[in-house]
């Protein structure tokens, strides 16, 4: 009897591709759960619709803050500002993140989505709540802005709609964790979960804490708006609300970074330089990212200086460390992959040889650069208690989060869509030349918006102000930078509209790719004689990334100390 007959055959996968409810992806060969695929489509499409609504609002706002145009009336300015904030920062982001979660817990793990009924309930609640909120805003019953600070009061349907969105998202997160549990129980995968799933899990954990903050603050506000309970304390409201408002953007950060790793792998074959370190950075996000919420309260009298300094400095820097780890390991993994493919010429030969004609790759790189250089540097600096005094409630704050949420998260989500639609809807993109231009249009426009806002804010231009002319204190420089912001907004919205047309046009009219791989956007090609893994122990193979890191640190130091100089100019020490 041979030894082969003594060895039991490997167990058959519990959910083979041929079983009901699964299909094999013709491009990747992965098993795709049909139920998960359906809800990935629903949530992604809904997200793009809300992105489009928020983008239309964005151009109206930009053309109003651009003093030369000054488009809207004062009442409609604040109405559209509320509409823009909810659609861009909440609805677009949450719907797309649910799509990402459903992908991350099924496709990489070859698992079924836990419950289609739960997914329907989640989607129905989220969609109903978002429509309720938008309707109330447009009818002029909720001119309270995104933050809806008490004692400002909106129609009860406004708060109820937000509660429905928050609870619906929590239900989707439950579906995600239940799917992870059943996949582990049924052994649909071997070993640790892939890094993209690990990052999505970190986002889901933070989402639970975030949405619970939303429930804690919105439920008593809703009952107050109905006349059932007394008004909640405004300072209490502000503190708890920012556990929702700021931390919800940290859910975005985890999802965005997971997408960076995924696209880097798809476009160049990049693998994390050290996956343990990358996973540890996600854990740092879970433990410490909520502390950054405190930087919205740095001028509030309700909390002490020691609390402010601790939350925005010492402990928060552990979350900053996580971002810096990802900011290094993502480009380093791309550099290693490109050099192993034979692109070793000079310090940045790997950059010039990268697949720039792939809009997913270019979008991911622009997302990383805008988020890291503009959003990251400004965020850490403006989140310092003393410096915040000269920046709070100016357009500098708005310039910062347009770099993080829009230039970082939204651009990364757009980049992922160039793979999602061909793989999930099984249609190749129309107008591929326009698709290659789209990330540059949107990213370049947002960069101008962020810089225009930041420089105008440095001159004292306030945020959320309808008209700066009556003050009579702003000269030509402020108007110049507001013009830069306006021009950038026009370019960015053109990029956004192009993205929406490409997505809708592809879903309706794109060439079907069922039965064959998706049309290749362009991947990094290996040169003759190259060998994968040949640089695994050569740390100098990351020299290009090290040089970029040095540039980043130099920019950070210059910006940080320039802000201390600006503080000293208005706060002399005698």
| Per-residue pLDDT, 4 | 39
| Per-residue pLDDT, 572 | 67
**For every one of its 574 residues, what pLDDT tens digit does the chain have, with 9 covering 90 and above?**
333 334 444 444 444 555 678 888 888 888 899 999 999 999 999 999 999 999 999 999 999 999 999 999 999 999 999 999 999 999 999 999 999 999 999 999 999 999 999 999 999 999 999 999 999 999 999 999 999 999 999 999 999 999 999 999 999 999 999 999 999 999 998 888 999 999 999 999 999 998 898 889 999 999 999 999 999 999 999 989 988 888 888 888 899 999 999 999 999 989 988 899 999 999 999 988 887 788 788 888 878 888 887 777 766 778 888 999 999 999 999 999 998 888 888 889 899 999 999 999 999 999 999 999 999 999 889 888 888 888 988 999 999 989 999 999 999 999 999 999 999 999 999 999 999 999 999 999 999 999 999 999 999 999 989 999 887 888 899 999 999 999 999 999 999 999 999 999 999 999 999 889 999 888 877 776 666 666 656 667 789 999 999 999 999 999 999 999 998 888 766 5
pTM given for the model? 0.92
| Per-residue pLDDT, 430 | 95
Q: What are the CA-CA distances from residue 286 to residues 143, 283, 303 (Å)?
A: 33, 5, 24
Count other C-beta atoms under 10 Å from residue 323's C-beta.
Answer: 21
From 70, 85, 73, 74, select the one nearest 482 (Cα to Cα).
70
Contact 460, 474 (CB under 8 A): yes
For the four alpha carbons of 524, 525, 530 and 533, in that order, the dihedral sign comes to positive
| Per-residue pLDDT, 314 | 65
- The gap from C-alpha 355 to its chain's centroid, in whole angstroms, comes to 23
- What distance in Å separates the CA atoms of residue 61 and residue 113, rounded to the nearest whole number? 40
| Per-residue pLDDT, 8 | 40
Q: What are the CA-CA distances from residue 85 to residues 92, 235, 464, 491 (Å)?
A: 10, 22, 12, 19
Q: Contacts for 512-518 with beta carbons within 8 Å, 24 or more apart? A: 512/426, 512/427, 512/428, 513/26, 513/27, 513/422, 513/426, 513/427, 513/428, 514/26, 514/426, 515/26, 516/26, 517/26, 517/27, 518/26, 518/27, 518/419, 518/422, 518/423, 518/426, 518/428
| Both tokens assigned to 460 | 């004292």
Phi, psi angle pair for 22, to nearest 5°:
-130, 155
| Per-residue pLDDT, 250 | 82
| Per-residue pLDDT, 531 | 65
| Both tokens assigned to 102 | 């459903």
Residue 264, class by beta-carbon neighbours within 10 Å (0-12 exposed, 13-18 middle, 19+ buried)?
buried
């Amino acid at each position: 009897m041979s030894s082969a007959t003594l060895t039991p055959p490997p167990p058959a996968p519990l959910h083979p591709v041929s079983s009901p409810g699964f299909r094999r992806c013709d491009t990747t060969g992965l098993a795709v759960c049909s139920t998960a695929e359906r809800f990935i489509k629903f949530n992604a499409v809904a997200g793009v619709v809300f992105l489009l609504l928020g983008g239309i609002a964005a151009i109206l706002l930009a053309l109003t803050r651009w003093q030369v145009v000054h488009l809207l009336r004062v009442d409609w300015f604040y109405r559209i500002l509320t509409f823009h904030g909810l659609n861009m920062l909440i609805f677009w982001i949450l719907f797309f993140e649910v799509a990402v979660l459903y992908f991350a817990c099924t496709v990489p793990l070859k698992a079924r989505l836990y419950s289609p009924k739960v997914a329907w309930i989640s989607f129905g609640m989220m969609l109903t709540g978002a429509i309720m909120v938008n309707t109330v805003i447009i009818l002029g019953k909720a001119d309270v802005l995104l933050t809806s600070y008490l004692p400002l009061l909106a129609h009860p349907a406004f708060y109820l709609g937000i509660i429905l969105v928050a609870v619906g998202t929590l239900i989707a997160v439950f579906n995600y964790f239940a799917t992870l549990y059943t996949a582990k129980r049924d052994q649909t995968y071997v070993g640790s979960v892939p890094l993209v799933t690990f990052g999505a899990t970190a986002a889901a954990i933070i989402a639970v804490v975030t949405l619970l903050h939303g429930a804690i603050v919105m439920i008593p506000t809703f009952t107050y708006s109905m006349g059932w309970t007394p008004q909640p304390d405004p300072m209490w409201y502000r503190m708890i609300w920012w556990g929702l408002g700021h931390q919800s953007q940290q859910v975005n950060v985890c999802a965005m970074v997971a997408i960076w790793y995924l696209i880097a792998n798809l476009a160049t074959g990049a693998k994390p330089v050290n996956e343990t370190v990358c996973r540890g950075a996600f854990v740092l996000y879970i433990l410490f990212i909520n502390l950054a919420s405190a930087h919205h309260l740095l001028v509030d009298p309700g909390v002490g200086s020691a609390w402010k300094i601790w939350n925005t400095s010492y402990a928060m820097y552990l979350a900053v460390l996580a971002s810096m780890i990802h900011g290094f390991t993502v480009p380093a993994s791309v550099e290693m992959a490109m050099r192993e493919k034979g692109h070793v010429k000079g310090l940045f030969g790997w950059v010039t040889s990268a697949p720039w004609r792939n809009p997913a790759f270019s979008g991911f790189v622009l997302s990383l650069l805008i988020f890291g250089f503009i959003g990251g540097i400004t965020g850490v600096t403006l989140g310092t208690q003393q410096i915040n005094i000269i920046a709070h409630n100016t357009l500098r704050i708005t310039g910062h989060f347009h770099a993080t949420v829009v230039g970082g998260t939204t651009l990364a989500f757009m980049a992922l869509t160039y793979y999602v639609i061909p793989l999930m809807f099984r249609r190749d993109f129309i107008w591929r030349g326009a698709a290659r231009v789209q990330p540059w249009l949107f990213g370049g426009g947002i960069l101008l918006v962020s810089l225009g806002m930041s420089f105008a804010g440095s001159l004292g231009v306030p945020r959320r102000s309808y008209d700066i002319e009556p003050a009579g204190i702003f000269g030509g420089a402020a108007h110049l930078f507001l013009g830069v912001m306006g021009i950038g907004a026009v370019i960015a919205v053109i990029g956004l509209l192009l993205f929406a047309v490409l997505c809708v046009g592809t879903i309706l009219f794109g060439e079907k790719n069922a039965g064959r791989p998706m049309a290749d956007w362009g991947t990094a090609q290996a040169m003759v004689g190259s060998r994968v893994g040949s640089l695994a122990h050569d740390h100098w193979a990351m020299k290009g990334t090290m040089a970029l890191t040095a540039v980043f640190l130099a920019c950070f130091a210059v910006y940080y100390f320039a802000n201390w100089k600006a503080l000293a100019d208005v706060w002399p020490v005698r």
